């Protein structure tokens, strides 16, 4: 196998049917489908999709007021206590254990334990954050809530 023998997969490419600017007999001669005049008929005409032809652009004419916390918001993966009760033969719970049992999707996002449901087993739970009720219920059941 050499680089000169590489070809695209069958069906992945199509032959371009419109051959522009090849004389009037081709049907796409003279203006080559660009129309008569204007910015787009000239060679080298390119502009970004949000260009509005010299009009004040939308992002500059809308008022900018206030503050949004969207960029700095911390999104937690939420796990309830009743879901932790389903884990059998588990004494210590970490993010890896939760991922293994399918209770969270990503290891790089922080985990928060919420107090919905009752805690029936004593577990040592390590997470990024706990709600107050979750901490109380875990300690009441004889476990430990460790904040990372």
Burial of 93 by CB count in 10 Å (0-12 exposed, 13-18 middle, 19+ buried)?
Answer: buried
Q: Residue 59: which H helix or E strand, with range?
A: helix 58-61
**104-143: b (≥16 Cβ within 10 Å) or e:** beeeeeebbbbbeeebeeebebbbebbbeebbebbeeeeb
| pTM for the full predicted model | 0.55
The model's pLDDT over 78-127, given as tens digits with 9 standing for 90+, comes to 999 999 888 888 889 999 999 999 999 999 999 999 999 888 888 999 99
How far apart, in whole angstroms, are the C-alpha atoms of residue 92 and residue 112? Answer: 16
Contact 111, 79 (CB under 8 A): yes
Place of tokens 């389903």: 86
- What is the arithmetic mean of pLDDT over 9-34? 90
Instruction: Check if CATH label 3.100.10.10 holds for domain 77-147.
Output: yes
Q: DSSP state, 144?
A: E
Q: Residue 6: which pLDDT band, with cuts at 50, 70 and 90?
A: very high
Q: What percent of the chain has pLDDT over 90?
A: 55
Q: Residue 40: which pLDDT band, with cuts at 50, 70 and 90?
A: confident
Place of tokens 């199509």: 14
Query: What pLDDT is recorded for position 48?
Result: 87
Residue 129 has pLDDT above 90, yes or no: yes
Q: Residue 47: which pLDDT band, with cuts at 50, 70 and 90?
A: confident
> How does DSSP assign 76-138, residue by residue?
PEEEEHHHHTT--S-SEE-HHHHHHTTS-S-SSS-EEEE--S---S--EEEESEE-HHHHHHH
Q: What percent of the chain has pLDDT over 70?
A: 100
Kindly list the domain boundaries of the chain, sorted by start residue. Answer: 77-147
């Amino acid at each position: 196998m050499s680089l000169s023998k590489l070809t695209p997969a069958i069906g992945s490419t199509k032959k371009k049917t419109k051959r522009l600017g090849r004389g009037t007999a081709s049907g796409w001669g003279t203006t080559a489908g660009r129309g008569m005049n204007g910015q787009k008929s000239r060679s080298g005409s390119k502009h970004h999709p949000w260009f509005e032809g010299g009009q004040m652009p939308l992002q500059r004419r809308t008022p900018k007021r206030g503050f949004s916390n969207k960029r700095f918001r911390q999104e937690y993966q939420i796990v309830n206590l009743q879901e932790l009760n389903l884990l059998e033969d588990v004494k210590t719970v970490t993010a890896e254990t939760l991922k293994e049992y399918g209770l969270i999707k990503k290891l790089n996002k922080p985990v928060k334990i919420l107090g919905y449901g009752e805690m029936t087993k004593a577990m040592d739970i390590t997470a990024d954050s706990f709600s107050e009720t979750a901490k109380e219920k875990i300690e009441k059941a004889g476990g430990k809530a460790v904040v990372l």
